[in-house]
Structure 1
Amino acid sequence: MEGICEKIDGDLLREICELLVENRETVCKIFVIGSGGVLSWLLFPFLLASIGFTATGIAAGSLAAKIMAYLAVANGGGVAAGSLVAFLQSLAAGGLSWGGTGATASAGATLASLLSTICNQTKTN
């Protein structure tokens, strides 16, 4: 990476380049954390749909249907309001609120940060 910034015209851009190169591990970690937050927010609706929680209801034969059936039997014939199944179905039907969006993005960013930390600890020089 030595000399990469020397090819850039303009003092300010060259200084920015040198700063980024000097702090590339931190810049990389910020990028990974941000990407984790954005990806988790984007993929959450697809995850719900893939296990059977859809906008029109729980898909027949899906994992969500099996969980719902199990909980209904365990609860004496119905799924309790406020249960995990009811909560996930309401998210699939209505989408995430601002708070839910923030929580999902924060969870993804936290996971990405942990992954980045693990990767940095296991790297070999």
Structure 2
Amino acid sequence: MGAAVTLLLVLAGGALGAVCRFLVGQAVTGRLPWGTFGVNVVGSALLGLVAGAGSALPGWIGPLVGTGFCGALTTYSAFAYETVDLASTRHSRLPAVGYVAGTLLVGLAAAVVGWVAGARFLDGTPI
């Protein structure tokens, strides 16, 4: 696969991921940043799935889904901003600490579950 095709796949995946991120942000509002939490967990699971499946997937899936879609869907900058916002606008820092811990733990768990599911897909084992 050539560099130009890879670039187009990343662009297409990124465009779709960015639109999905925007729509989730518009749909999910409230006192806590559930939209960012949700897209980060879903993106972690999807990227784990793609990584776990590895060579069982066509080569174009990595740039399209992994780099493009997941890269645009997930957002570290919003996570960081919302953490600072939670810490500075509350009487307690506990919501910010919980948000960070929850995002990291659930995101890592989602990536592991995705990886295992992808690896099982690779070797034909039922999930």
Provide TM-score, normalisation by structure 1. 0.28
The structure with more helix, counted as a fraction of residues: 2
